[in-house]
Structure 1
Amino acid sequence: MKTRLRRFTELEQVRGPLTAVYAEVREPLLHLRNYAVPTFAERLERYGREPGFAAVLAFGPGDRPVGYAYGNTVGAGDLWWRRIGDVDGEYTVSPALALREIGVTAACRGTGLARRVHDELLAGREERYASLMVNPAAGEGKVQRVYESWGYEAIGPVRPSPDSPVLMAMVRPLHS
């Protein structure tokens, strides 16, 4: 399937299509409060107003969104880092990119689209590091192994909210 990527830096431009593709990607989990569309929409509103917000959407035939990633800049004192606990100061000495969400529709999984969307989100960023949180149980560990193959290393467990599973925080340099 031919896809094209588009970057957005304004929440208003991306809110609708991003929420729609999120709902399709996470459909099997939407009954869980942490994954419910209203919970996602609250997070998107909050992070979409933070410094350095950017989103990348992948569009397939008929301009239908089939993948996405978004994130924003976080500093040393941000809740992102405080939730993790004892974080190496190397990662927090300067602002980092927090990759908040990434996903592709079932039809696009295994095609390399997630990596393309990820790389486009990271392209041109000025932060020294990118960080993300992954459910280590996702895909029986496969998702975390994919992130490791993209250069991320695990730095510690984190539970972002009472409704969230325990996740693994990961980090990688943005510039080699």
Structure 2
Amino acid sequence: MTVDVRHYVAEDLPEIRQHILDIHVEVRQRDFGLTGPFYDVERFDERLTAYSSRPGWTAVLGFDEGDPVGFCFGTALAPDTKWWNNMLTAVDPVVTKEDGKRTVSLNEIVVRKPWRGRSIAWQLHEAWLDHRAEERVTLLVNPLAGDGAVQAVYEAWGYRKVGDQQPFPDSPVFSVMLRPRKQG
């Protein structure tokens, strides 16, 4: 199945914010039962606002017959990024050196239940990366999500775990994953 993928920049956020928030609530809270302050829509909206305020933030949304089915978004890691600050495992400083052009962070990727298992997440992911210029992409994934199945999907997409981190006191401990933006 193929969806209509549309690209957005920070200036477009007012147009797509409600779609993103609605999908977040539907998937994270209703489908997966993720509750607590970290997953509240208000906290998610605060993170969305913070991410989109950074230079180079972009997003894609997928639509099926006009219905929003999923999204992903992220931004380049600046030279002064805090992305690597909350590592719980030691990582070679060569890996964590950023210049604003080396690494893009995939902050979120979410697909609604009726469209899962149809390669929609992959389509959104690759469409988003096709418009990025960085050499590599990083993301955080809860290793317990889907009893490890979510992390296994990222591994199948070429990501490799480089360590663990807990970016917020009330967030889960995430696996930090990294891969080249373009697969060889």
Q: TM-score, normalised by structure 1?
A: 0.92
Contact map agreement 1:157 1:169 (CA 8 A) in 2:
yes
Task: Note the aligned Cα RMSD (angstroms).
Answer: 1.7
> Are 1:41 and 2:45 matched, yes or no?
yes
Structure 2 residue corresponding to 1:77, chosen from 72, 76, 80: 80
The structural deviation recorded for 1:2 is 5.6
- Partner residue, 1:140: 147
The structural deviation recorded for 1:150 is 0.5
> Are 1:27 and 2:34 matched, yes or no?
no
Structure 1 residue corresponding to 2:58, chosen from 45, 51, 54: 54
CA distance in 1, matches of 2:96, 2:129: 16
> Are 1:92 and 2:89 matched, yes or no?
no
How many residues are aligned here?
175
- Partner residue, 1:6: 6
What's the secondary structure of 1:160's corresponding residue?
A: coil
CA distance in 2, matches of 1:2, 1:78: 35
Structure 2 residue corresponding to 1:170, chosen from 172, 177, 180: 177
Structure 2 residue corresponding to 1:119, chosen from 103, 126, 146: 126
CA distance in 1, matches of 2:153, 2:119: 11
Contact map agreement 1:47 1:71 (CA 8 A) in 2:
yes
**Higher alpha-carbon deviation: 81-90 or 49-58:** 81-90
What's the secondary structure of 2:172's corresponding residue?
A: coil
**Higher alpha-carbon deviation: 124-133 or 18-27:** 18-27
Give the counterpart letter for 2:119 in structure 1: G
Q: Could you list the runs of 4 or more consecutive aligned residues of structure 1 that deviate by over 4 angstroms after TM superposition?
A: none
Residue ranges of structure 1 left out of the alignment (5+ in a row): none
The structural deviation recorded for 1:108 is 1.0
CA distance in 2, matches of 1:144, 1:30: 17
Give the counterpart letter for 1:33 in structure 2: P
CA distance in 2, matches of 1:87, 1:122: 25
The structural deviation recorded for 1:34 is 1.0
> Are 1:157 and 2:160 matched, yes or no?
no
What's the secondary structure of 1:120's corresponding residue?
A: helix
Q: TM-score, normalised by structure 2?
A: 0.88
Q: Percent identity of the aligned residues?
A: 37
The structural deviation recorded for 1:6 is 0.6
**Higher alpha-carbon deviation: 38-47 or 71-80:** 71-80
